[in-house]
Amino acid sequence: MKRCRLRGSSPQQKAWSPVSTVGSVLCYVVDMILADRVTQCRAPFIVKDIASGQLTGLNNTSAWREHLENCAIRYVLRDDLVQLCAELAYSKGAGNIQCADLLHAPAESFWVEWSNEPWRTALERYGFLLVNEGLQWVGRRGAFVRASSDGRRGLLRTFWSAQGECDVLASSIEAYFDFDTLEGEEPSPPDGQEAEIRRVSDSAQRDDVLGRCFRFRFEKSWADYYGCAALTPEQWEALWRHAIGTIAMDVPMLLTFLLLLISRSGLPQKRETHERLNATRRRVGKPPLLEHVEVHAPLLPAYRSAPASDAPHSHRRRPRLHHVRGHLVRRGNQLFWRVPHLRGSAQCGAVRSRTVVWTFDEPRAVRAAVERAVEQATVARHTATPPTPKHHR
């Protein structure tokens, strides 16, 4: 029986297909998503002190297997959505949006993952310096989020696949957030754990959700391990900068995804259960693959290059083909995004610009304040002293 591997533009595309049949048995080959690799990781992460020979176990991928198996929902972003989120997250044109009041986690625990290739391409396009030798830039990336019941506070940890198919690493840094943090205040850690924390900000953003609402710290086992290493201040600072680099760049991407996910129109989604495939895997003693939701970019309106003008020849220089940067604007509970596009053409044509509008339901706090104001006005109207009637002679 032949086996073949289907390869698309990314592993999260449809990655399985019946390749042959023997009687009534179907054979499938599948490329595992990052979440499957995390849940199938059993080996603990052990480090050895070269000087003393002491072994230390650190919290890493294998410690998160049960969390991913039991989380409420797992999102797998298609490449088109990764590109869209990256354009919105890292373009300077998104610097005039204020969105902290709109954001909330979709569940008390959820997983998001995406392919590194379109994400890294966007980072390089917008001028971020990347270390090519860093293992976190290959394969796939993911983030596990635990949130409060209202979705406004929580803790997240990031993961990435390295060079080996089954080699998945977790960041030594974790981030906690509180979207209700006011300017000048600090978000409180969800577990009350006292630790050294760091802040990362984006000076290009008018409403810097990253700098105001997020704080970063070493996970406890890693903090204890590095605390016993007697590092110099210079080594400690270099370690912090390297470790934060494995997680901080993911936050704008996640925030943009959440923003699009909770918009009134939402995002196209497709649930993958792998029922028949998992039945076959169980029969041969293999662990089942996780259910997940594939999320696509919304269908954008089509556009065409404008035809060359029939106007008489002018001395004014015609526009050359060039790129127009996208930008994002919020007005009330609507987001307007002018899509990045090309303008002009080799025939001196023009590309019609596009604007996509996302509408959000009013934030809970705003709705509650409006309801209270209406209730107070109603009570005041009913309890007010009626005016004295005028008597006419």
Q: Summarize pLDDT for 166-212 with one digit per residue, the tens.
A: 588 899 999 999 999 998 899 999 887 778 999 998 766 656 889 99
Contact 118, 79 (CB under 8 A): yes
**Structure-block tokens of residue 62:** 């294998």
The HSE-up count of residue 266 (CA atoms within 13 Å, CB side) is 5
> Measured between alpha carbons, how far is 210 from 88 in angstroms, rounded to an integer?
15
What does the pLDDT read at residue 161?
Answer: 86
Q: What is the mean pLDDT of residues 136-165?
A: 86
Parallel/antiparallel/unpaired status of strands 334-338 and 355-359: antiparallel
Q: Which residues, in sequence order, are CB contacts of 47 under 8 Å at separation 6+? A: 55, 56, 58, 225
Q: Which residue has the higher pLDDT, 29 or 246?
A: 246
* Radius of gyration, CA atoms only, the chain: 26
Q: 329: buried, middle or exposed (CB in 10 Å: 19+, 13-18, 0-12)? A: middle
pLDDT of residue 324: 62
Q: Looking at the predicted structure, is the pLDDT value of residue 249 above 70?
A: yes
pLDDT surpasses 60 at 28: no
Count other C-beta atoms under 10 Å from residue 102's C-beta: 21
Question: What pLDDT sits at residue 373?
Answer: 63
Q: What letter does residue 305 receive in the DSSP assignment?
A: B
With a CB cutoff of 8 Å and minimum separation 6, the contacts of 56 are 46, 47, 48, 49, 225
Query: CB pairs under 8 A, 24+ apart, for 12-17?
Result: 12/76, 12/77, 12/78, 12/79, 12/113, 12/114, 12/115, 12/294, 13/78, 13/79, 16/274, 16/277
Q: Could you give the maximum distance between any two Cα atoms of the chain, in Å?
A: 109
pLDDT for res 3: 36
Q: Which residue type is seen at 251?
A: V
| pTM for this model (two decimals) | 0.74
What own/partner pairs with CB < 8 Å and gap ≥ 24 does 164-170 have?
A: 165/37, 166/37, 166/40, 166/41, 168/34, 168/37, 168/38, 168/41, 168/61, 169/60, 169/61, 169/135, 169/136, 170/59, 170/60, 170/61, 170/63, 170/64
* Rounded Cα–Cα distance for residues 18 and 24 (Å): 12
* Residue predicted with more confidence, 110 or 354: 110
CA dist., res. 61 & res. 363, Å (int): 35
Taking the alpha carbons at both ends of the chain, their separation in whole angstroms is 109
27 — pLDDT class (breaks 50, 70, 90): very low
Average pLDDT over residues 324-335: 67
Task: Kindly tell me if the per-residue pLDDT of 386 is higher than 70.
Answer: no
| Partners of residue 357 on adjacent β-strands | 336
Count the Cβ atoms, other than its own, within 10 Å of residue 218.
Answer: 23
Strand partners, 359: 334
Position 262 pLDDT exceeds 70: yes
Q: Which residues contact 302 (CB under 8 A, 6 or more apart)?
A: none
Distance separating alpha carbons of residues 216 and 252, to the nearest angstrom: 14
